[in-house]
A and B are shown apart, each in its own frame.
Chain A
């Protein structure tokens, strides 16, 4: 082939490529505009949403209709919808973004997140596989894909995905938990337990603590199971895996309650500064809601920023004086820094605004007891008990007062009420145990000692003291009988 011919052919090919490229980009622009415009909601009820959100949505829609920077506008619109709980609209935008910005893993991931949240796992699995084909190291997508497969009973596929996470992050607690569930299904309790131990170790007992107890019991390790159970009355510490892409939608959220929730989630994930950012925004959106000041106050305390914590809770008492929790937290703050006079004043002022607050009544009762005004404190604890039905503490306080006033029958009644309110409350059990030991009532003492033995949340020091008291009162024979009975009922 002659050089001239080659040059000629090359020029034609170059021209075709340039034309194709230009045509493609023109077509792509038109397509993008059409895609975006087609998915804009025909009618959207934004009643109840704030003006800033409504304006931003309208502005994005206008930009899309005008063909101005369509991809950016649609992405922003998607985030606005997602962040404010308009999931159908957000899902449509993500569908558009998947077509317009097809090499970005974010869009299939976020769409999958919405769909899987509503149980549409088959669709979500395809989307997460797509996301991971574009970005194979995005751990939240991997974990959610594996979790979806597990929930679809596709355990072998789930196992492979969890394994892939562990190849990169050897102590990822979510992958360890998922694998442990698969092991438990297969009856591999020993392996499951090892994984759960690793999960709780790497997550500081946030992930896997619940099943660790079950696995330990299955392995016959009651000591370990009870040690985990003893950590909390009720943990509930599990929190979803942090997801930076999802988190970005919170910046477009204008719903104060959702921001408060997201703040709580961020806190549980260990990101307190981000949590503060979100809760402060909730306060700005709804400045008369005292709960958000309380939430922010507690977050500032975690950050050791006591000045800001005090400022926030004080502001809460001004902006939302009918929120009992702001007064209670203010009083607790003052008490913790040794300013009891201010604490007591906060309690009294709080009760003037919130006369039915159980926590404020409880605190006033405590101060009255400290001041020796036992009779006056009774009504406060009674008031607390009448509202906080599931709490044994006010009954214990009442029992202590009645014992001090030599009203033994009333004290016993209070303890029984405490037991009914919170049957396994450690203070209720130990006080009852001590009472019957002191009263030389061996039958009842034995009964409560049994319950104390079965409550792992009672500290070993208290347990030892009770056992010593029991021994002293009823002698070595009684103790031996007590323990031999325990041994006899062991499996």
Chain B
């Protein structure tokens, strides 16, 4: 090719330039993802008569701070009970189903410093459930080392003796028991939100109530820790939800011999994504534990808490070998406490979530949403309730022995509005059409 002015451009050069110009004009976006799938949002179905609420346990008094409910047959009498954490009163409550549909409230432990989460495990090998309690001491922002782990030891007759396993640590939000080392003894994994400093602590069992601590993560904001064989290698792995500005979900793969390999399996770059809870389920029934995940914490850079348009519910599909795929289920302002439950008993696992941190100024503000699964993992939102408001925690179980699940919720009134109150509520299927 020559551009000698004396000779003028050759025809081939001119044709080449023309083709180049036309090609360049048409060249665009080759590095962009070809199929960014963006789904339409379905319109929710109003189904507020689907469930019938009933207060269980003591009636509402003052402004309840029920931070956690757990459906469990604590005394193994065949009747489903509820363990609830009352953070303001410092009480761990057992709402016992003494006979079918009759409940009575028993204080399992008093003067517990702001209990916010309970799980059960047979820590002593007696065949009875002991109760593991995560204590923040102060629920609202506080960076002091005031957290603790308390285990309520069951003597077999449902008399519980508290053991302070560790205290004066960054505020504790979750504690679970599992045998991580494979030595036949239950260890503990402890999520410590703290505030500016927090951590995830593995407590290896060394004696009856003695443990040796090891820090697995040095970030603040852990809300939940969950244990299961996520990687399919026959060992107990750990999943942790870390909020604050990090907004990440970590997998700690148990490599055996006390070694854990850490990786991030979800992360949002929105520092206000507002992670609120994770929960375990096998949503697609493929035999691998998946993760349900809500983001709905309403606190942030405004004078009052409220919902954001990005709040909602999602699941992380376990694809095996420590790989997870994110799927959005639906939007829900102030979303907390996702629960997998086949609410309509159609054989497909649905999802229910509650809402806690909204302003509740609009009549359309939803407090409980059911995401109905069509069997192909397409979820249609059904509004189950507009009130009571400020529902922070939920669980699901068969309380009637009929094979039909019910939902149990707990209300946390840490901020106004202080109306449309509830405490611990059982939501059963409406028998009437």
B258 → A minimal CB distance (Å) = 17
Q: How far is the CA of A141 from the CA of B146 in the complex (A)?
A: 39
Mostly helix, strand, loop or mixed at chain A's interface?
helix
Q: How far is the CA of A390 from the CA of B137 in the complex (A)?
A: 9
Q: How far is the CA of A153 from the CA of B249 in the complex (A)?
A: 12
A235 touching B140 in the complex, CB below 8 Å, given contacts A9-B11, A129-B31, A261-B300: no
A225 → B minimal CB distance (Å) = 9
Q: Which of B32, B62, B195, B306 has the most CB of A within 10 A?
A: B32
The one of B7, B144, B195, B272 that contacts A455, using a Cβ cutoff of 8 Å: B144
A46 within 8 A of B: no
- B contact residues around A386 at 8 Å (CB): 62
Q: How far is the CA of A471 from the CA of B300 in the complex (A)?
A: 45
Question: Is A229 a contact partner of B143 (Cβ separation < 8 A)?
Answer: yes
B280 within 8 A of A: no
- A contact residues around B145 at 8 Å (CB): 424, 454
Question: Is B29 a contact partner of A116 (Cβ separation < 8 A)?
Answer: no
A20 touching B22 in the complex, CB below 8 Å, given contacts A102-B28, A239-B271: yes
Closest residue of A by beta carbon distance from B114 = A390
A119 touching B418 in the complex, CB below 8 Å, given contacts A85-B308, A85-B309, A423-B113: no
The one of B28, B196, B306 that contacts A213, using a Cβ cutoff of 8 Å: B196
- A contact residues around B88 at 8 Å (CB): 389
Q: How far is the CA of A382 from the CA of B364 in the complex (A)?
A: 36
Q: Which of A59-67, A263-271, A332-340, A372-380 contacts B (4 or more CB under 8 A)?
A: A263-271
Question: Is B273 a contact partner of A117 (Cβ separation < 8 A)?
Answer: yes
A111 → B minimal CB distance (Å) = 8
Closest residue of A by beta carbon distance from B271 = A240
Interface size on B, residues (CB 8 A): 76
Contact with B along A142-172 (1 / 0, CB 8 A): 0010011011110000000000000000000
A123 within 8 A of B: yes
Q: How far is the CA of A120 from the CA of B144 in the complex (A)?
A: 35
Q: How far is the CA of A139 from the CA of B273 in the complex (A)?
A: 21
- A contact residues around B11 at 8 Å (CB): 9
A153 touching B359 in the complex, CB below 8 Å, given contacts A16-B18, A233-B143, A389-B88: no
Q: How far is the CA of A84 from the CA of B309 in the complex (A)?
A: 8
The one of B137, B142, B146, B267 that contacts A151, using a Cβ cutoff of 8 Å: B267
- A contact residues around B38 at 8 Å (CB): 88, 91-92, 95
Contacting A at CB under 8 A, from B392-415, are none
- B contact residues around A261 at 8 Å (CB): 272, 300-302, 306, 308
Closest residue of B by beta carbon distance from A261 = B302
Question: Is A424 a contact partner of B268 (Cβ separation < 8 A)?
Answer: no
Kindly list 15 other residue pairs between chains A and B, CB separation below 8 angstroms, not including A9-B11, A24-B25: A13-B14, A87-B309, A102-B29, A118-B326, A150-B267, A151-B269, A210-B196, A210-B197, A211-B218, A229-B196, A236-B141, A261-B300, A264-B303, A423-B113, A454-B168
B-binding residues in A (CB < 8 A) = 1, 6, 9-10, 13, 16-17, 20, 24, 41, 45, 48, 84-88, 91-92, 95, 98-99, 102, 108, 111, 113, 115-124, 126-127, 129-130, 133, 144, 147-148, 150-153, 184, 209-211, 213-214, 229, 232-236, 238-240, 255, 257-258, 260-261, 263-265, 267-268, 291-292, 294-295, 325, 356, 386-387, 389-390, 420-424, 454-455, 457
Q: Can you pick out 12 interface pairs between chain A and chain B where the beta carbons lie within 8 Å of each other?
A: A117-B273, A119-B267, A120-B326, A121-B267, A234-B195, A258-B309, A260-B303, A261-B301, A291-B303, A356-B418, A420-B113, A424-B146
